């Protein structure tokens, strides 16, 4: 173990000034980072009901000798850095030797520690920066730092603290960000009166992640997408949230670079873009992204609190990260959806339409080759619809028309192809329904297969959001009002969310004590489906969830899911057409609100390949 030394003045001069201890969260961060640097397998964080009153971090790491313990609280005292050239490739989380000194200066700090080579431990007490006492103490190998009465001697900083709750929340985020990024450490985290968790070593990132983010997942859904890979010498590991877990803010994104939890606009943007357009542009994925990169390619000495890092080659890191995330998403999202929509990014909803990935195999294949060219034209909804219905001249399409257009198949003489072409002109083109579940439509370059439920869900979700976040939508009045019996809770939910229900298009009035009369339902969906969705909304609209989403968001999802046509429901030709038209008029036709595929495309090339034509 290297001894602690005071840094030479010329090295100090090259270090970005001081650890800023501005709030309890900063104390927790520094103490945790020290514990990690000490090689701890167990780290226990204990916080008082008011975090500025008490923060204690205990570890089972290397500990310090008596001399080192007394040194450690001095300014620029560190065992982690010697020469200024070491600054070029820092492998530890700390390096400035200032944290303990800065904390000790503004609090009552007690440090107790024992190294493996000592039989007894050492206790060091500092009050407002003044060393009070160094004494012997019996203890296990490791270190415990207790910080009490933070800012007792700097009342101005004390006044700047936010509410107890928000200081506790900020601190908890710091702790959780390390809990999540360091699954190979046994963590304990207690906040008096609030939190008490004991998390033994986890096998991998996903196992840890699932503890926090697995709960809200809908049944059967994954807690997240495990993520690992190497691109351009950078090793990526972590967990990506599913598209349906996307949030309205970035609070649930965690980044670590060589073990250091950082905030990084570069990584944030790369993460977002890696999701391609699987999530709406105003939402952010959740996830945990750790990267291991040659330390000499990272500058950690750019920010006073080391919260940010700079990469020597930002664009390389950005590109690699985006590609790694994108690849993981391609594997996660059913074939044909994720593939090929990458280059466009969120602002290009139809960027993937022309690509020809082999569905069914895209998921196992490398993504190479299935990428659209960057110069691909951007289609809008109308153009997309046109592309769908343009005469393909494909045999498969011809026979479909023969069936659906009421022309008996055997009536089609080989010479009638010209006439058939006429039939294929826009609105008449046939859309097949396969087993009351999938819609099949010929398109210019092949065939598109649409999941009717998923497609309708996407349509209704966007429609519902528009209504809920806007001025509302049209109501279809019922000839005979429908009366529903409600539970007390359902009635409360209804009263609480009355405005939202009205915006969706429901017209409801009280009718007796526990009954309501539904006089109108959202236009554009059948009455039965609307009633089903309403019943479901009254059960779930008020449910607590941890997503931080506005209720409108959840209401839109529930509504869409329960009002959409079921799989197994026969659809008339005009209903099929309307569904296809409306799907491609949405902002994100590729996936339903849960990130599942709405359609896959089968190209002529793929068919030809399968039939051995090329
Ligand atoms: P830095 O981490 O930048 O070196 P600090 O002020 O945080 O500066 O810590 C000073 C020194 O005290 C560290 O270099 C390390 O040698 C020692 N130290 C601090 N905390 C611990 C701990 N939990 N276990 C072992 N050594 C520690
Ligand atoms: Mg430190």
Helices (H) and strands (E) in the chain, counts: 19, 24
pLDDT in tens, 321-335: 999 998 888 877 654
Which of 31, 37, 55, 141 should be mutated for ligand 1, with most atoms under 8 A from CB?
A: 37
Q: Which of 270-274, 283-287, 334-338 has the lowest mean pLDDT?
A: 334-338
Q: Is the CB of 58 under 6 A from ligand 1?
A: no
pLDDT in tens, 435-444: 999 999 887 7
List residues, by chain if needed, whose CB lies under 5 Å from ion ligand 2. Answer: 34, 94, 99
Which of 4, 100, 304 should be mutated for ligand 1, with most atoms under 8 A from CB?
A: 100
Q: Is the CB of 44 under 6 A from ligand 1?
A: no
Ligand 1: residue whose CA is nearest its atom 13: 78
Q: Distance (Å, rounded) from C-alpha 23 to C-alpha 16?
A: 19
Q: Is the CB of 183 under 6 A from ligand 1?
A: no
Express as a percent the part of the chain with pLDDT over 70.
80
Ligand 1 atom at minimal distance to the Cα of residue 142: 24
The structure tokens listed for 474 are: 């049209």
d(CA 213, ligand 2 centre) in Å: 30
Ligand 1 atom at minimal distance to the Cα of residue 93: 2
Ligand 1 atom at minimal distance to the Cα of residue 57: 23
What rounded mean pLDDT belongs to the chain?
Answer: 80
The closest ligand to the CA of 77 turns out to be: 1
Helix (H, G, I), strand (E, B) or coil at 89: coil
- pLDDT at residue 108 is higher than 90: yes
**Residue 353 to residues 338, 369, 599, Cα–Cα distance (Å):** 11, 15, 10
Pair type for strands 253-257 and 287-292: parallel
Sorting pLDDT into bands at 50, 70 and 90, what band is 221?
low
Q: Distance (Å, rounded) from C-alpha 402 to C-alpha 167?
A: 69
CA atoms within 13 A on the CB side of 413: 3
Q: Is the CB of 100 under 6 A from ligand 1?
A: yes
Q: Distance (Å, rounded) from C-alpha 236 to C-alpha 271?
A: 12
Confidence (pLDDT) at 173: 92
Mean pLDDT value of segment 43-62: 97
pLDDT in tens, 464-475: 998 998 888 889
- pLDDT at residue 384 is higher than 90: no
Q: Is the CB of 459 under 6 A from ligand 1?
A: no
Ligand 1 atom at minimal distance to the Cα of residue 81: 4
Question: Which residues does residue 199 pair with via DSSP β-bridges, in sequence order?
Answer: 187
């Amino acid at each position: 173990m290297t001894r602690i030394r005071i840094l030479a003045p010329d090295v100090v001069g090259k270090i970005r000034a001081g650890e800023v201890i501005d709030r309890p969260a900063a104390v927790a961060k520094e103490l945790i980072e020290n514990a990690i640097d000490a090689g701890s397998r167990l780290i226990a964080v204990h916080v008082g009901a008011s975090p500025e009153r008490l923060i204690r971090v205990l570890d089972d790491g290397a500990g310090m000798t008596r001399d080192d313990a007394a040194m450690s609280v001095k300014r620029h005292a560190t065992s982690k850095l010697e020469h200024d050239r070491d600054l070029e490739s820092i492998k530890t989380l700390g390096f400035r030797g200032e944290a303990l000194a800065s904390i000790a200066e503004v609090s009552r700090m007690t440090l107790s520690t024992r190294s493996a080579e000592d039989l007894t431990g050492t206790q060091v007490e500092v009050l407002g920066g003044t060393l009070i006492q160094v004494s012997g103490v019996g203890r296990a190998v490791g270190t415990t730092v207790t910080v009490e009465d933070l800012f007792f001697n700097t009342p101005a900083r004390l006044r700047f603290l936010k509410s107890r709750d928000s200081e506790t929340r900020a601190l908890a985020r710091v702790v959780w960000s390390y809990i999540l990024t360091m699954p190979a450490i046994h963590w304990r985290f207690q906040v008096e009166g609030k939190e008490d968790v004991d998390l033994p070593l986890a096998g991998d990132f996903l196992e840890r992640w699932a503890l926090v983010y697995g709960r809200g997942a809908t049944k059967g859904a994954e807690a997240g997408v495990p993520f690992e890979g190497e691109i351009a010498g950078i090793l990526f590991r972590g967990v990506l949230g599913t598209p349906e877990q996307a949030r309205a803010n970035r609070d649930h994104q965690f980044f670590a670079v060589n073990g250091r939890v950082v905030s990084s606009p570069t990584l944030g943007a790369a993460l977002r873009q890696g999701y391609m357009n699987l999530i709406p542009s105003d939402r952010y994925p959740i996830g945990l992204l750790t990267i291991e990169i040659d330390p000499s390619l990272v500058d950690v000495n750019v920010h006073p609190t080391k919260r940010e890092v700079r990469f020597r080659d930002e664009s390389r890191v950005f590109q690699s990260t985006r590609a790694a995330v994108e690849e993981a998403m391609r594997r996660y999202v059913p074939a044909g959806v994720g593939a090929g929509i990458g280059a466009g990014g969120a602002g290009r909803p139809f960027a993937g339409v022309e690509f020809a990935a082999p569905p069914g195999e895209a998921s196992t294949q490398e993504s190479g080759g299935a990428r659209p060219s960057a110069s691909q034209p951007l289609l809008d909804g109308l153009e997309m619809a046109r592309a769908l219905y343009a005469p393909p001249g494909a045999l498969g399409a011809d026979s479909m028309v023969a069936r659906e257009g009421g022309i008996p198949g055997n009536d089609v003489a080989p010479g009638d192809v010209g006439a058939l072409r006429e039939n294929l002109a826009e609105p008449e083109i046939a859309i097949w329904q396969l087993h009351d579940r999938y819609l099949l439509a010929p398109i210019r370059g092949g065939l598109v297969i649409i999941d009717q439920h998923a497609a309708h869900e996407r349509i209704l979700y966007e429609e519902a959001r528009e209504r809920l976040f806007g001025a509302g939508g049209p109501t279809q009045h019922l000839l005979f009002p429908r009366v529903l019996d409600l539970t007390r809770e359902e009635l409360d939910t209804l009263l609480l969310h009355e405005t939202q229900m009205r915006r969706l298009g429901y017209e409801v009035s009280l009718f007796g004590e526990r009954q309501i009369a539904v006089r109108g339902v959202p236009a554009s969906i059948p009455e039965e489906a609307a009633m089903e969705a309403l019943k479901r909304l009254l059960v779930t609209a008020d449910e607590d969830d941890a997503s931080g989403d506005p209720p409108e968001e959840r209401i839109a999802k529930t509504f869409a899911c329960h009002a959409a046509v079921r799989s197994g429901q026969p659809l008339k030709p005009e209903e099929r057409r309307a569904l296809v038209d409306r799907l491609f008029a949405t902002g994100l036709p590729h996936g339903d609100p849960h990130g599942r595929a709405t359609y896959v495309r089968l190209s002529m090339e793929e068919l030809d390949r399968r039939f051995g034509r090329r």
